[in-house]
Amino acid sequence: MRDTFVKTLIEIAKKDRNVHLITGDLGFGVLKPYWEELPEQFTNAGIAEQNMTGIAAGMAREGKIVFTYSIGNFPTLRCLEQIRNDCAYHNANVKVVCVGGGFVYGSLGMSHHATEDLSIMRALPDVTVLAPGDLTEAEEATKAIYNQPGTCYLRLGRGGEKQIHENINKFQIGKAININKGNRIAIFSTGAIFDEVIEASEMLNKKGYNPELYTFPTVKPIDRETIVNCSKRFDLIVTVEEHNIVGGFGSAISEVIAESHSVKSRVLRIGIDDKYSSIVGSQKYLREVYGMSAMAITQKVIESLGEV
C-alpha cells in the first residue's frame, strides 16, 4: 500500500505544485522516487513529529496541501495535540498518513503497534478518517483525501496485501463497497485485515454459510445508509478491524445501529479486546493470538449464530 500511495502522490504532485510531502525521517527507500522527481515539494522534518505537524499546519494555512508521513503511532499519537489544535481546529489542509496500521510492525513491540489510532482520530471533530483494504482502495483514497478540504487521516498497510478490486467505480469518501451478496450474515471490514475476512468467508461458505461482504474504506464519515439497510436485512452484522474494539470501526457501526429503528441485526465486533499487546511477532502471528485470523473470525461468527 505504501508504494501505491507514493506512486499516486507523485502523479498528483506533478500536476499540483502546492502539494508538499513531509516525512518524519523515514521511508527513504519508498520515498526516494518522490524526492528525486519533486525535490522542491519534499521536506524531512527529522524525528520530530510534533514539529512535522506544526510545519504542515503552517504551510497549509499558506495555501499548500501537505501530506505528513510516518509509521505506526508516530504521525498520530505522538503529535496528537498538534493535529487537534493546529490542524483540525483550523480546518487546515493537512493529510496525516500512517504506514503500518495494526500489527504491521508487530515484531517491533507495543510502541509500534497502531491499535488505537482509528478511535482517537475519529474522535476529533472535522477529521476525515480512511483505512483502505487493498491497493486499489489505497490509490483511490489517496486521490480522495487530496480533493477533500480540511484535515484527513489515511491509515495504510505496509505491503503484500491481497488485491480485492480490479477497479472501483466512483469511489466516494463515506461510502462502503459491496464485495458480494449473501444472506443471514453481513461482514463489514476496514483496512488491510480484509485479507483475513476473504479467507474466513471462504471457510464459512464450505460450512454452508453465505455472508455478504463489504469493505469500508472510510471510517469517518461512516456509511449510515448501508449500515441501516443491512441492519434490517441480516440476523448478524460482524465488524472486523485490526484495532481495539473500543471506539473504532465496530463502535462506529454500533452507534449507527443503536440510533436506528426497526433493526433486526445483532452486532459482533471482532478486533483487539481492549488490551495492549505485550507479545511481539509477525502480523499474521499476532492476528492469530488476538482472535482476528480467518479461522478465529469463522469460529466467532458460527458461535454468535448459536450453531456450534
Q: pLDDT (tens digit, 0 to 9) for every residue of the chain, 308 residues total?
A: 889 999 999 999 999 999 999 999 987 788 999 999 999 999 999 999 999 999 999 999 999 999 999 998 999 999 999 999 999 999 999 999 999 999 999 999 999 999 999 999 999 999 999 999 999 999 999 999 999 999 999 999 877 777 888 888 889 999 999 999 999 999 999 999 999 999 999 999 999 999 999 999 999 999 999 999 999 999 999 999 999 999 999 999 999 999 998 888 999 999 999 999 989 999 999 999 999 999 999 999 999 998 64
Whole-angstrom Cα distance, residue 184 to residue 150? 39
Taking alpha carbons only, the member of 287, 94, 77, 291 closest to residue 193 is 287
User: What pLDDT does residue 157 have?
Assistant: 86
Rounded CA separation 8/132 (Å): 14
Residue matched to cell numbers 497502531: 114
pLDDT score of 146 = 98
**Distances 127 to 33, 95, 135 between C-alpha atoms, Å:** 29, 10, 23
Q: DSSP character for 279?
A: -
Rounded distance between C-alpha atoms, residue 198 and residue 239, angstroms: 13
> So what's the pLDDT on residue 307?
62
Q: Quick check: 177 and 168 in contact, CB under 8 A?
A: yes
Measure CA 65 to chain center: 21
E strand residue ranges, 121-228: 127-130, 151-156, 177-180, 185-189, 212-215, 218-220
Grid coordinates representing 274 are 481492549
Please give the single-letter amino acid code of residue 103: F
Question: What's the length of the chain?
Answer: 308
Instruction: Give the span between the Cα atoms of 262 and 14, in whole angstroms.
Output: 50
88/90 Cα distance (integer angstroms):
5
Cell of 163: 488485491
Positions of E strands within the chain: 19-23, 42-44, 65-71, 94-99, 127-130, 151-156, 177-180, 185-189, 212-215, 218-220, 236-244, 266-272
pTM recorded for the entire structure: 0.95
3-state helix, strand and coil shares in percent for the chain, rounded to the nearest 5: 40, 20, 40
Q: What is the pLDDT of residue 167?
A: 85
CB 105 within 8 A of CB 112: yes
